[in-house]
Amino acid sequence: MDDYYTVLQGDHLSKIAKDNGFTDYTVIWDHPNNADLKKQRQNPNILLPGDQLFIPDMEEKHESGATDKKHTFTIDKKTLKLRLVLEDIYEKPIAGAQCALLIDGQTYQLTTDGNGKLEQEIPLDAKEGTLTIRGDQTPFANEVIPIKIGHLDPIDELSGQIARLNNLGYFAGNLDGSDTDAFESAVEEFQCDNSLTVDGDCGPKTQSKLKQIHGC
C-alpha cells in the first residue's frame, strides 16, 4: 500500500528504496507526489530528517514469450558510489595513499588518485564505515576515521553548513549550532580563503561556494 515515509537521520534514497523493495530509486524520486521535495532537495542522497517522501506501490510487469524458447530479462539496477577526497593541512591533495575502506563489514583496499580522491561502489543500504590511511602521507596515518553515510543535511540548513565546514577542516562546532562563536569564526575563515565578503554570515553566496568546494 502506497504511503508517505518520514525521513530519519542517516537516510538516503538508495537505502530507502532498497528497504522498500525497489532496485531503482528513481521510481520513487521521479514520482509526481515527490516533485516538490525533488525540486527542494535536488540531490536524492541529501535529505533532511522530517522530509515526507511518497513511497508508491510496486507495480507488476508482465512479459510475453514463446514457451519453447530461451528468454533473457535484464534488471535496471542502480548503483551507489562513495567518493572521498583526502587533503593535508595545507589543503593539498594526498595522492597515492594506500587506504583501507571498511563499509558494513566489507573491506576495500584503495589508493587515492592524483587529486587525493577515492571512489568505491558500496551497498545500496550502506549506513556507515571507517577509513584507515596507510603510510606517512598525512598526520592521520593509521588512525581510524569514521564515515557516516546519508548523514549530510542540505546546504541551506545550519547543520548542513556546519558539517561541510567541519569536513573541510574549519572546525565549526557541533552540528546543533550551539557553539555560535566557532561557527561564525569558521565561516569567516572559509570566506577569507575563497575571496568572499568576510562577515561571518553563511548566506546564499557562501552556501553556494561551500557546496562547490565540498563537492555536494
CA separation for the pair 22, 4 (Å, rounded): 15
Question: Residue 137's pLDDT is what?
Answer: 65
User: Each residue of 20-44: pLDDT tens digit?
Assistant: 999 899 999 999 999 999 999 999 9
Residue 90 per-residue DSSP state: T
State the pLDDT at residue 139.
Answer: 73
Residue 10, sorted as left (phi over 0), alpha (psi -120 to 50) or beta, turns out to be: left
> What count of other Cβ atoms lies within 10 Å of the Cβ of residue 203?
12
The pLDDT assigned to 141 comes to 78
For the domain bounded by 80-148, which CATH number is listed? 2.60.40.10
CB 147 within 8 A of CB 130: yes
For the beta sheet containing 128-133, the strands, ordered from the edge strand earlier in sequence to the opposite edge, are: 106-111, 98-103, 128-133, 144-148
Helix, coil or strand: residue 48: coil
**How far is it, in rounded angstroms, from Cα 87 to Cα 129?**
19
What is the domain partition of the chain in residue ranges? 3-55, 80-148, 158-214
Kindly report the pTM of this predicted structure. Answer: 0.83
Please identify every stretch of the chain with a pLDDT value under 50, giving residue numbers as ranges: none
Look at the domain 3-55 and name its fold. Membrane-bound Lytic Murein Transglycosylase D; Chain A (3.10.350)
Write out the E strands in 21-95: 52-55, 80-85
pLDDT at 71: 65
pLDDT at residue 61, as a whole number: 66
